[in-house]
Amino acid sequence: MSPPISQSDLESFSKHLRNSERILALCGAGLSAASGLPTFRGVGGLWRSHEAQRLATPQAFANDPGLVWQFYSYRRHMALQAQPNPGHFALAELARRKKDFLTLSQNVDGLHQRARHPSSQLHLLHGSLFDVRCTAFYCNYSEQNFTDPITPALAIPKEVTQPAPLGTAESGAEATNSLSSAMQSALAAKELDIADDRIEIPELDIKDLPQCPKCGNGLLRPGVVWFNELLPRQTIDAISKWIDSSKKIDLILVIGTSARVTPAADYVEEAKEKGARVAVINMDRADTPGGIYGLEKEDWFFEGDAAVILPEIFQGEIGDISDRIRQG
């Protein structure tokens, strides 16, 4: 539960937001946490017995593409089951109200887009789970793909009730009923949580993984930016052009991220150099750019869940968005 926002902070922030024209928002995993998505943040963030960061590398994919695809297929599935939360909708509405507003997101889950955030005002620093591209050297194939699972071998396993042995059935009707009950049970079966390493998962062959339909011999990979890879050049250039404009930046919102690694940390410093005041929205007071001592006296720290705080602190500009959230 988020602690109450002080009235003086809310009033001073609302006044500054009302007078702000150029606004930068930097979003991290904390924004999507309220939608039920695991963050896998930092060293020690485990998927099964594997450090999630160690699976998010070109080397891991080269060594065991089946395991890496199972990790990302799990994340794709979880993201498609999740819904954008009020924080996503509030941010999208503020972007529509403030035309010189830019959101930079480190999230790959597609929730900004599903909250109808204006695409021209959204840059995905780390790509998307739902982009896939070919790994063959001479092939440039890429596509958006929301199929879940992307291949049958990557389906999330389920608990399935086995039918009674047919040899015990006393009639054909009993055998049919047993099979029918098993089929209905399979449809309603609970998915197994393959993030738990007590749940067995198969070792997959290359042929079971997504293949390139263009070149025919390349393996498709998730279109996210892995560790040791460069961020998309087009994205970086567009952000730099916006920041390097001669115009002042009025405000930077740091939402659900510590923004302590590049390029996120650089964007905070660059915005501050262009005159921006900083508003941090985070669950942990110590988890801020430069630590809590990195904030100036005129900046704001709003402690708590971004899904709760953003609609509240933006309300003076966007109004009550409850109906829009219900409409999806």
Which segments are annotated as binding site for Zn(2+)? 134, 139, 212, 215
Q: In angstroms, how far is CA 122 from the centroid of its own chain?
A: 13
Distance separating alpha carbons of residues 168 and 165, to the nearest angstrom: 6
Alpha helices by DSSP H, the chain: 7-19, 29-33, 52-55, 58-63, 65-81, 86-97, 111-114, 172-188, 233-243, 264-273, 306-313, 315-318, 322-327
Query: Among 88, 117, 123, 126, which one carries the catalytic annotation?
Result: 126
Q: Give the DSSP per-residue string, 151-195.
A: SGGGPPPB--PPPPPGGG-SSHHHHHHHHHHHHHHHHHPPBP-TT
Dihedral angle computed from the Cα positions of residues 184, 185, 186 and 189, in that order, rounded to the nearest 10 degrees? 130
Distance separating alpha carbons of residues 226 and 240, to the nearest angstrom: 21
Q: Is 16 a catalytic residue?
A: no
Q: Give the bridge partners for 127, in sequence order.
A: 224
Which residues make Cβ contacts (< 8 Å) with residue 135, sequence separation at least 6? Answer: 61, 218, 219, 220, 221
Taking each continuous run of H as one helix and of E as one strand, the counts in the chain are 13, 11
Residue 101 per-residue DSSP state: E
Question: CA 281, 252, 227, 157 torsion: positive or negative?
Answer: positive
Distance separating alpha carbons of residues 66 and 73, to the nearest angstrom: 10
Task: Say if strands 300-303 and 277-282 run parallel, antiparallel, or are unpaired.
Answer: parallel
Task: Give the residue ranges of the annotated binding site.
Answer: 134, 139, 212, 215
User: Which residues are part of the catalytic machinery?
Assistant: 126
